[in-house]
Amino acid sequence: MPLLKKKPLDYQEALRDIAKSLVRLKRPERLLKMITRFLDKELGIEHAAILVLDPAKSRYTIFDSKGVRKLPQSLLRLDPDHPLIRWFQPSRKERNHRDKIKEMESLRGFVSRREIQSLLNKGSFLDDRPELKKELIEVERSLKNLRADIAIPGHFKEALVGILLLGEKLTHRLYTKSEIQFFQTLVHDAALAVKTSEYHQRLVERNFELETRKKELEERLREIERLRKKEQETYYQIMKSLAQQVHAKDPYTFGHIRQVERLGIMTAEEMGLDLSGKRRDVLSAGLLLHDVGKIGIPDNILKKPGALDSEEWKVMRTHVEKGAKILEPLTDFKEVAEIVLCHHEHYDGSGYPRKLKREEIPIEARIVSVVDAFHAIVSTRCYREGRPVAVAFEELRRAAGTQFDPRVVEAFIRAMKKQLKHS
Amino acid sequence: MKEMTRLLVVDDEPDICEFLKSFFQEREFKVETALSGEAAIAAVEKFRPHVMLLDIKMGPVDGLTVLKKIKEKHPRTKIIMVTAIETKDKIEEAIRLGADNYVTKPLSLEYLENDVREKVANLALNA
């Protein structure tokens, strides 16, 4: 009777088939099951089983077992001190020792129960090696317990990844050398697949973890961005409605504040001020809202065609405090309120309401002051005709150092000139 | 001739019963198996085992029920619980009900054999 149940097995071909499948399989469980099924089907044997290292518990358990005398699944485990495990994971010393013994060559790279039996029977070489003899007896007994005729270790970089156990052939013949070589190749590839997939699995898990964290972070950033946008929209909504109210009361400012905002930002850019993040918003708001307090100034004063008397000026001047009061309750407008309050302060301390000097006046307020003055000079106001830009520059320069911060004046004029050149 | 130790293996998986049976038979035990709690209770009366390997998780009569019944009637029978679920309360319950030891699946055959032999030695001492 032929060795094999069906047809003589072309090992080369089988090997190629399995190697091909190996590449396809990212999950080695399927490969291992395929191997046991293949061996059980193609070779007439009692059973084929694969033991695999459970790295978490450092023990070997039966991954799969097929055949008429298959091992019950999930019943058995082999601890690291199990004779078979110790045999396949010898210390360097033990291995060197074994390698020196000529008789042991027949057991290199696998163990065969019947080979061990014959060694034990005829092995006078074991008489002086009681420890090796004891080991061999234990391995033989373990193989018997596991119903195995041969066992083939699967190593990966010195570590024992798993073991292939094969029961006796139904014919009770011995396994041939070429068969054993075939099994060794198979087990070697399987160990590789298990290890790479473990590695792969760890990578996947790690990637997944990182991916999740990244997603969470992105989600948070999106949320922050969303809130910031919403906040900004609200901010501008409020400013717009406030500014519109000023318009409604003081028609001459029509077009004024938008212009003022644009010129102010330009000046700040020319000065090289930090306009990142909230800084730009604060400056914009200060420029847009500097006159918001005029809402509280009686029309007869605000819209008076002629010059104001001193009593009227007193009232008019309160618009800076009124404006600051309007803005103060809004948390985001604290800084803006300060700008509004300071936009009539003079660089030399002669302004109002607190007679602040130089750097005591927020830079934004100093900018508002210059831009607002320029705009007033060139605009047609109800009490006088607008004057040309050159005249305005002259006036600003004359007041630089007293009313205005000279650096702001110069930056403003530079920015204006650039703009005029472009238009 | 020395009396053979009688071992009763109780598990609802035939593979496991058969495997443990042949393992202990090879070690000069007289082994019977039972595939359910009911069968186990009946087998104890007929077979009078010295030692029992008793699976905890079986239906409808589970290992703990069998343990309780047998320990009530045959307190000298040594019972080793076999459990796949390593839940502490089940094991504690088993010990409370008089189990002599427990092993968890997957088990080490070598440890199990030692354990069984130890119980047999105890029996002999107390005889």
Q: Which residue has the higher pLDDT, A410 or A14?
A: A410
Phi-psi region of A197 (alpha: psi -120 to 50; beta: other; left: phi over 0): alpha
Widest CA span of chain A, in angstroms? 132
Of A59, A71, A74, the CB nearest to B105: A74
Mean pLDDT, chain A, whole residue set: 82
Q: Report whether pLDDT(A74) > 70.
A: yes
The C-alpha of A278 sits at a distance from chain B's nearest C-alpha, in angstroms, of: 59
Establish if B21 touches chain A: CB-CB under 8 angstroms.
no
- The reply to whether B109 touches chain A by the CB within 8 Å rule is yes
- The pLDDT value recorded for residue A322 is 86
- Mean pLDDT check: name the lowest of A194-208, B4-18, B55-69: A194-208
- Domains for chain B: give ranges and CATH numbers: 5-120 (3.40.50.2300)
Confidence band (pLDDT; 50, 70, 90) for A418? Answer: confident
Residue A48 near residue A166 (C-beta atoms within 8 A):
yes
The pLDDT value recorded for residue B74 is 93
Mean pLDDT score, B51-64: 90
CB-CB under 8 Å, A145 with B107: no
Return the half-sphere exposure (C-beta side, CA atoms, 13 A cut-off) of residue A18.
Answer: 26
Prediction pTM value: 0.57
Structure confidence at residue A4 (pLDDT): 45
Which residues on chain B are in Cβ contact (under 8 Å) with A59? 106
Q: For chain B, what's the residue count? A: 127
What is A11-206's CATH topology? Beta-Lactamase (3.30.450)
Read off the pLDDT band of A142 (50, 70, 90).
Answer: very high
Q: What is the dihedral of CA B12, B13, B15, B19, to 10 degrees?
A: -50
Q: Does A145 touch chain B if contact means CB atoms closer than 8 Å?
A: yes
Question: Among B13, B108, B110, whose Cβ lies nearest the Cβ of A72?
Answer: B13
Question: What sign has the CA pseudo-torsion A373, A375, A378, A381?
Answer: negative
Considering only CA atoms, which of A41, A40, A31, A44 is closest in space to residue A4? A44
Q: Which of B26, B29, B108, B113 to mutate to test the interface with A (most CBs of A within 10 A)?
A: B108
- The percentage of residues in chain A with a pLDDT greater than 70, rounded to a whole number, is 82
**A3 pLDDT exceeds 70?**
no
Whether B91 has its CB under 8 Å from any CB of chain A: the answer is no
| CA–CA gap between residue B11 and residue B54 (Å, rounded) | 7
Longest dimension (CA), chain B: 43
- With a CB-CB cutoff of 8 Å, which residues 28-87 of chain B face chain A? 84
- The token pair at A43 is 């070779």
Predicted confidence at residue A1, as pLDDT, reads: 41
Whether B17 has a pLDDT exceeding 90, the answer reads yes
Q: How far is A56 from chain B (nearest CA, A)?
A: 14
pLDDT at A251: 56
Q: What is the pLDDT of residues A241-300, one digit of tens each?
A: 666 666 666 655 556 677 788 889 999 999 999 888 778 888 888 888 888 788 778 878
Q: Is the pLDDT of residue A2 over 50?
A: no
Token look-up 């703990």 returns B64
Most trustworthy range by pLDDT among A219-228, A328-337, B105-114: B105-114
Reported as a single tens digit per residue, the pLDDT across A159-198 is 899 999 999 999 999 998 888 988 888 888 888 888 877 7
A73 has pLDDT over 70: yes
Q: Does B19 touch chain A (CB under 8 A)?
A: yes
SS (H, E, C) chain B: CCCCEEEEEECCCHHHHHHHHHHHHCCCEEEEEECCHHHHHHHHHHHCCCEEEEECCCCCCCHHHHHHHHHHHCCCCEEEEEECCCCHHHHHHHHHCCCCEEEECCECHHHHHHHHHHHHHHHHHHC
The encoded tokens of residue A394 equal 């002259």
In this prediction, residues A114-129 reach a mean pLDDT of: 88
DSSP SS3 for A142: helix
What tokens appear for B88 in the block?
A: 């502490």
Q: Which fold has domain A250-422?
A: Hypothetical protein af1432 (1.10.3210)
Residue ranges covered by each domain of chain A? 11-206, 250-422
Q: Which of A133, A131, A154, A151 is CA-nearest to residue A142? A: A151
Tell which wins on pLDDT, A275 or A21.
A275
pLDDT 10s digits, A353-365? 999 999 999 999 9
Long-range contacts of A246-251 (CB under 8 A, 24+ apart): A246/A291, A246/A292, A246/A294, A246/A295, A249/A294, A249/A295, A249/A297, A249/A299, A249/A302, A250/A291, A250/A294, A250/A302, A250/A303
State the ipTM, two decimals.
0.85
Which residues of chain B make contact with A75, given a CB cutoff of 8 A? 15-16, 19-20, 105-107
| Closest alpha carbon within chain A to B24 | A145
Domains A11-206 and A250-422 share a fold: no
pLDDT in tens, A29-65: 777 888 888 888 878 899 999 999 987 778 899 989 9
Identify the band that residue A26 occupies on the pLDDT scale cut at 50, 70 and 90.
low
Q: What is the mean pLDDT of residues A406-418?
A: 92
Cβ–Cβ < 8 Å for B1, B30: no
What is the rounded CA–CA span in Å between residue A108 and residue A104?
A: 7
Residue B126 predicted with pLDDT over 80: no
- Rounded to an integer, the average pLDDT of A322-339 is 80
| Residue A8 scores a pLDDT above 60 | no
pLDDT at A6 (0 to 100): 47
pLDDT by residue (tens digit) across A82-113?
999 999 998 888 888 888 888 888 888 899 99
Nearest to A147 by CA among A113, A190, A106: A113
**Smallest CA–CA separation between B126 and chain A, in Å?**
31
Cβ pair A160, A88 in contact under 8 A: yes
Across A112-116, A228-232, A275-279, the highest mean pLDDT is recorded for A112-116
